[in-house]
């Protein structure tokens, strides 16, 4: 290029062109610096190592003074304790599903069209409220069939069957991809010699069954009542014509009843089916068992309080929750306790290390249970020891460790006592037997010991036991490892007493037994008066009565000892979580209340836009509030029909204020329409046909 003719070569038109020449100057210093790694790159190279060190999702507590090692200790303790509980919950679900799973497996192994006279083997499974159990059963059955190489389960939803061709295509694709993957499904069409088959041709599935020697193709319809009746009829007709070549077995998930399901099908369709009816256990039973496992487990170190337990069962009852959803809520409760409670770190195996922190010791001294513990020590006259607890962290650490271990053992004994009450109710056949979950909730609230109805019924029934029933009761208590004092001694004394005093092989009876009572009738003034009396007891019956009364006294003393009030224990804030609000707000959020509060009092959530960042002294309408909040508060003052022009004028008065000339009216109008659109999106206003320039109010505050 000629330098003298530079303008012509670059075609510059004296600034009239939109494409101007650009000259970029690189200094020597910038070129040398470019060869080196920038500080940002060096910082990013160290970032992964920092993430490894600060991988805890928990935040420092104690006003940010909690060391990182204690933060990680809280998180690791939560993960360790919950891993144990989660494993036990899953094992309990497997136990609950075991019976119905074995019945279904037996049906699948024995069912075939030959046995049923050419009809399709069919299992009608009543799901009820336990919807998730059907999926768990099918998954277990599918895994077993794949492991044995005998077949598989093809699960269909109602959305997979809009028409017969689509449902056949989905059945074939699921069956092949379950074992061969997507590549294997594609090879079915590409590697096959001859003309290409259509994807909904059951010949594809027939060849796959012959090649893989499949014995069972279980076609499971999870929500069978949601399937289109015509599509379902056509599908069953085609399966019936192929069941002699493809080993189909049908599973129908039924949420209502077998009668209603059969009523939807034609007689000719029902005639093609034959099989059995299975009923899955109710979801409430699963929830009760899971709660019992969580609370009364021998490895439990964190318990749910009465308030949060009652809320969990209210939600499970009102919303027909699955056991998996209940487990997730319990996990959230566990996480909430460790996430927001700094003293929860004492449940770790390194509690002595955690107590070296001064702020944690100070937090322990501010616990209500610590204050109550100090008051009890003062009542005992231990003034010097209380002063040491307040001043010396090492003395406090020793007291905390010893008391915490002792109180954890008392909580375990509490649930052993609940177990004893449950066994006594069942064995003695108390008229109104309380469910185990109710007993557990009462125990955590401390009301079980004071429940006169339960304890009175147990005592009345126990006093009437004969020697045989008493021996059975002792055997049951001993078999369940109930820590009743001198239990084996009572069994030995009873055996000796029965062998030495029994006559004619009959059992010994106490004086409270109904068979030892007699009824006498006397006639006075033409009236019959009945009176009860006691038969003369034998020496063996007298000794047996003393033995039984002694046992009941020991049992009552034992229950009064173990059925404690958990909230009265020292450091109960460490091992009992009873805050209802975190769980309630997370799983049952009051969305409307939160939105109304945010719009009515926006500075409860936002920082006031001022230089000093102070909240406004009043809650009146102000131009400092967000536009949608202003419009919402004007909306609250309006009637059922709102004039949009009047609403705009009021809005403009607040936005513009006294100095309306300083505010752009066009910009304010744009904000007004945007805020009105947001209220419409929230469902608070809608257009009305009564008046063109009005909108209709659809919600009222607090309703």
**What is the DSSP code string of 15-73?**
T-SSS--------HHHHHHHHSPPHHHHHHHHHHHHHHHT---SPP-TTTTS-HHHHHH
pLDDT at 13 over 60: no
Answer whether residue 558 shows pLDDT above 80. Answer: yes
Q: Phi, psi at residue 156, to the nearest 5°?
A: -120, 140
With cut-offs at 50, 70 and 90, classify the pLDDT of residue 610. Answer: low
Distance CA 142, CA 487 (A): 48
Domains and CATH numbers, the chain: 112-281 (3.40.50.300), 591-697 (1.10.10)
At residue 86, the pLDDT reads 94
- Is the pLDDT at 244 greater than 90? The verdict is no
The confidence band for 579, taking pLDDT boundaries of 50, 70 and 90, is confident
Percent residues over pLDDT 70 in the chain: 82
Highest mean pLDDT among 179-183, 373-377, 620-624: 373-377
pLDDT at 46: 41
The mean pLDDT value for 92-101 works out to 88
- Tell me, what's the pLDDT at 293? 92
pLDDT band for position 17 (50/70/90)?
Answer: very low
Q: Give Cβ neighbours of residue 253 (< 8 Å, ≥ 6 apart).
A: 125, 127, 134, 220, 221, 222, 223, 224
In the chain, % of residues over pLDDT 90: 25
What pLDDT is stored for residue 514 in this prediction? Answer: 58
* 240: Cβ contacts below 8 Å, ≥ 6 apart: 119, 120, 272
What's residue 404's pLDDT? 93
Chain centre distance of CA 215: 38
> Looking at per-residue confidence, does 171 or 619 come out higher?
171
Residues belonging to the chain:
703
- Better-predicted residue by pLDDT, 580 or 66: 66
Least trusted range by pLDDT, from 14-28, 209-223, 456-470: 14-28
Q: Is 588 helix (H, G, I), strand (E, B) or coil?
A: coil
Residue-level pLDDT at 30? 46
- CA–CA distance, 469 with 504 (Å, rounded to integer): 17
**Residue closest to 362 by CA, chosen among 393, 404, 405:** 393
Mean pLDDT of 570-577: 94
Average pLDDT of span 348-367: 91
Contacts 24+ apart (CB under 8 A), 626-629: 626/602, 627/651, 627/655, 627/671, 627/672, 627/674, 627/675, 628/599, 628/674, 628/675, 628/678, 628/679, 629/598, 629/599, 629/600, 629/602
DSSP 622: -
How far is it, in rounded angstroms, from Cα 322 to Cα 131?
7
Over residues 170-189, mean pLDDT: 87
**What pLDDT sits at residue 526?**
65
Give just the sign of the alpha carbon dihedral 31, 33, 37, 42: negative
How confident is the model over 636-686, as pLDDT tens digits? 888 889 999 999 988 988 887 655 566 788 888 899 999 999 999 988 889
375 versus 15: which is more confidently predicted?
375
> Is the pTM here over 0.75, yes or no?
no
Quick one: average pLDDT of 455-459? 82
Q: What is the largest CA-CA distance in the chain?
A: 150
Nearest residue to 354 via CA among 530, 549, 574? 574
């Amino acid at each position: 290029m000629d330098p003298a003719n530079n303008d012509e070569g670059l075609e510059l038109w004296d600034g009239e062109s939109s494409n101007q020449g650009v000259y970029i100057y690189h200094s020597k210093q910038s070129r040398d610096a470019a060869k080196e790694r920038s500080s940002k790159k060096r910082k990013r190279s160290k970032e992964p190592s920092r993430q490894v060190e600060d991988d805890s999702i928990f935040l420092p507590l104690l006003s940010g003074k909690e060391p990182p090692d204690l933060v990680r200790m809280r998180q690791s303790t939560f993960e360790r304790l919950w891993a144990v509980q989660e494993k036990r919950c899953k094992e309990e679900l497997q136990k609950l599903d075991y019976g119905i799973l074995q019945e279904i497996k037996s049906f699948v192994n024995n069912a075939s069209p030959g046995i049923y006279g050419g009809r399709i083997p069919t299992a009608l499974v009543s799901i009820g409220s336990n919807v998730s159990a059907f999926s768990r059963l099918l998954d277990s059955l599918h895994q077993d069939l794949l492991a044995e190489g005998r077949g598989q389960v093809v699960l269909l939803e109602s959305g997979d069957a809009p028409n017969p061709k689509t449902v056949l295509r989905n059945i074939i694709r699921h069956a092949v991809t379950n074992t061969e993957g997507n590549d294997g499904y594609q090879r079915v069409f590409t590697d096959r010699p001859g003309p290409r088959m259509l994807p909904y041709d059951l010949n594809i599935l027939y060849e796959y069954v012959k090649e893989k020697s499949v014995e069972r193709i279980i076609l499971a319809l999870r929500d069978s009542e949601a399937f289109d009746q015509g599509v379902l009829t056509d599908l069953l007709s085609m399966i019936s014509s192929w069941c002699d070549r493809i080993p189909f077995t049908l599973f129908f998930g039924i949420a209502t009843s077998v009668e209603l399901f059969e009523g939807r099908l034609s007689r000719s369709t029902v005639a093609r089916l034959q099989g059995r009816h299975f009923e899955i256990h109710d979801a409430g039973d699963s929830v009760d068992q899971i709660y019992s496992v969580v609370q009364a487990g021998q490895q439990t170190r964190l318990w749910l309080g009465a308030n949060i337990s009652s809320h969990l069962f209210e939600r499970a009852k009102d919303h027909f929750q699955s056991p998996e959803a209940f487990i997730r809520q319990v996990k959230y409760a566990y996480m909430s306790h460790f996430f927001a409670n700094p003293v929860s770190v004492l449940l770790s195996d390194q509690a002595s290390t955690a107590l070296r922190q001064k702020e944690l010791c100070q937090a322990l001294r501010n616990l209500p249970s610590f204050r109550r513990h100090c008051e009890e020590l003062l009542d005992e006259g231990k003034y010097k020891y209380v002063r040491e607890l307040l001043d010396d962290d090492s003395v406090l650490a020793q007291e905390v460790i010893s008391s915490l271990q002792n109180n954890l053992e008392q909580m375990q004994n509490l649930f052993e006592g609940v177990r004893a009450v449950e066994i006594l109710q069942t064995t003695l056949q108390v008229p109104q037997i309380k469910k185990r979950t109710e007993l557990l909730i009462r125990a955590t609230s401390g009301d079980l010991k004071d429940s006169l109805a339960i304890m009175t019924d147990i005592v009345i029934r126990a006093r009437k036991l004969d020697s045989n029933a008493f021996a059975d009761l002792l055997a049951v208590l001993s078999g369940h490892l109930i820590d009743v004092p001198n239990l084996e001694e009572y069994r030995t004394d009873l055996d000796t007493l029965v062998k030495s005093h029994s006559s004619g092989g009959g059992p010994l009876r106490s004086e409270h037994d109904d068979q030892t009572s007699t009824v006498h009738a006397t006639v006075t003034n033409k009236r019959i008066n009945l009176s009860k009396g006691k038969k003369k007891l034998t020496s063996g019956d007298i000794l047996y009565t003393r033995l039984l009364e002694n046992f009941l006294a020991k049992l009552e003393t034992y229950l009064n000892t173990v059925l404690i009030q958990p909230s009265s224990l020292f450091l109960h804030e460490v091992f009992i979580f009873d805050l209802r609000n975190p769980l309630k707000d997370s799983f049952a959020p009051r969305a409307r209340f939160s939105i109304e509060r945010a719009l009515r009092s926006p500075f409860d959530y936002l920082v006031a836009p001022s230089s000093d960042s102070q909240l406004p002294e009043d809650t009146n309408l102000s131009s400092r509030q967000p536009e949608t909040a202003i419009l919402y508060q004007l909306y609250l003052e309006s009637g059922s029909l709102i004039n949009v022009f009047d609403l705009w004028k009021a809005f403009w008065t607040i936005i513009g204020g006294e100095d309306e000339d300083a505010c752009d009216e066009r910009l304010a109008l744009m904000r007004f329409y945007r805020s009105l659109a947001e209220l419409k999106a929230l469902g608070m206003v809608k257009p009305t046909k009564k008046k063109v320039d009005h909108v209709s109010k659809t919600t009222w505050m607090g309703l």
